[in-house]
Amino acid sequence: MRKDGPISERGDGDHGQRSSAQRVLQAVRRHGPLARVDLGALLEMSPASISSLTSDLLREGFLREVPESGGAEPGRGRGRPKVLIELAPEAACMIAVKLTINRIEVARGDFAGGTGPVTARAFNTLELGADELLAALGDLIAGEIAALPASAGRLMGIGIAVQGLIHGAATIIWSPALSLRHVNIAAPLAARFGLPAIAMNDADCIALAIRQHSELQAIDNLAVVMLGTGVGMGLIIDGKLHAASSGLGAEFGHTKYQIDGPLCHCGRRGCIESFVGDYALYRDARSMLDLPNTDALHPSEEQMQALTDLAESGHPVAVSLFRQAGRALGYGLSNLIALLGPDLILVTGSGVRGFRQMEPAMRQALDEALVDTLRSQTEIRPRAWDEDLTLRGIVLQVLGEARTG
């Protein structure tokens, strides 16, 4: 018999009930507003189970009912709209943080997976010690918490998206943004605020956010390759985000293209990133062209767009650099296809601005490296970078790890 208390207060004996409630919430978060009959079919649950679970979640404020625009529900009479259920954004909130080179961003996330206005601070991140880093993160988080409106709902936790290698959802092993190594940022922040805290690779966050789009729901094996300041990848296998047993992700940008090639930010030579990353393209261009000086780690968007425009106009040096980058990218993708065979590879990130200049050499490299059978099994296409999805992805991860109550 179901206990009278809300789902969020039930004991261990109702683990199955909580688990079922989480499945309902995740399905509605992923697929958008749904009718109960469609939700039941999706989760393979009986109408009675769906009715009981959604009634509890509606009463507790996690879900809300909305009329479907147009169309009537069968058996309810002409003109009466079908009632859908959707997540209630105000049911809970979390703090989302993005740590990248010389910049920390923070925003409030809501229960539906959305994010609010972003607060950003500039830091010389390479000069931060461990205590200074934790203080900078903590102070920005504290400011965001202090600004939460009363309508924001219960504060569920903190998520930090980091450019670099993350171990155990807590420790930064290495990041191009920091000179520090092996720094646990989750535990001190959890202790300071009395909230669950997790850290996660930024490319993994973006892959999670992109996978939420309805047109990708049916694709269980997906690679999202991020081009920009560096080169990263988030990997979805069998519908789940891939992470090695160590907690580290898929470091596509630091696989090798050329032994003894250009120097990479990781300190090694010949990585794919050392040909394709923004800093690599601009570094090599400056050695041959009269271009403005810049932060060696982080050329501006305007500078990268100017370089891309040079290639678009046919400037031989710029064309050659993007062709070289495309070739490195193509051979890297060929290894990914041969090893894992994803159904779809999406190339995105701010660096996708130069994809058109890289694409011919990339596809030529793929044709050279792969037999037709392997080449034909994976679709590769660019995805416009019209929104930074990093914060949304870490919000989704916090929601995925949190319990209903």
With H, G, I as helix, E, B as strand and everything else as coil, classify residue 206.
helix
Total domains in the fold of the chain: 3
Decide which of 207, 236, 263 is a domain's last residue. 207
Domain identity same for 240 and 341: yes
- pLDDT at position 81 is 66
Integer Cα distance of 210 and 146 in angstroms: 30
Of 237-246, 260-269, 287-296, the range with the highest mean pLDDT is 260-269
Structure confidence by residue, pLDDT tens digits, 321-377 = 999 999 999 999 999 999 999 999 999 999 999 999 999 999 999 999 999 999 899
Q: For the CA atoms of 227, 232, 235, 241, what is the dihedral angle to 10 degrees?
A: -120
Same domain for 104 and 78: no
Residues 224, 286 within the same domain = yes
Orientation of helix 301-312 relative to helix 355-369, angle to 10°:
70
Q: In the structure encoding, which two tokens stand for residue 305, read together?
A: 């767009």
68 in a domain, yes or no?
yes
Q: How many Å apart are CA 320 and CA 286, to the nearest integer?
A: 13
Domain match, 198 and 230 both:
no
Residue 394 falls within a domain, yes or no?
A: no
179-187 CB contacts, 8 Å cutoff, 24+ apart? 179/126, 179/127, 179/128, 180/128, 180/129, 180/130, 180/133, 183/130, 183/133, 185/133, 185/134, 185/137, 185/160, 186/160
Which of the four pLDDT bands, split at 50, 70 and 90, describes residue 93?
A: very high
With a pLDDT cut of 90, the percent of the chain lying above it is 75
Does the residue 401 lie in any domain? no
Q: Are both 180 and 318 inside the same structural domain?
A: no
- Would you say residue 172 lies in a domain? yes
Neighbours of 368 (CB within 10 A): 11
- Tokens encoding 140: 């920005």
Task: CATH number of the domain at 161, please.
Answer: 3.30.420.40
Query: Poorest-confidence range of 39-43, 215-219, 381-385?
Result: 215-219
The CATH number that applies at residue 65 is 1.10.10.10
Whether residues 312 and 333 fall in one domain:
yes
Residue 276, pLDDT score: 97
pLDDT level of residue 295 (50, 70, 90 thresholds): confident
Owning domain of residue 11: 7-87
Task: Return d(Cα 159, Cα 95) in angstroms, integer.
Answer: 6
User: Do 318 and 351 contact (CB within 8 A), yes or no?
Assistant: no
Indicate the pTM of the whole model. 0.85
**Neighbouring residues of 338: CB distance < 8 A, sequence distance ≥ 6:** 369, 370, 374
What are the CA-CA distances from residue 109 to residues 28, 180, 337, 394, 399 (Å)? 17, 28, 35, 9, 10
Last residue of a domain, one of 180, 207, 234: 207
- Do 183 and 315 lie in one domain? The reply is no
In this prediction, residues 199-226 reach a mean pLDDT of 91
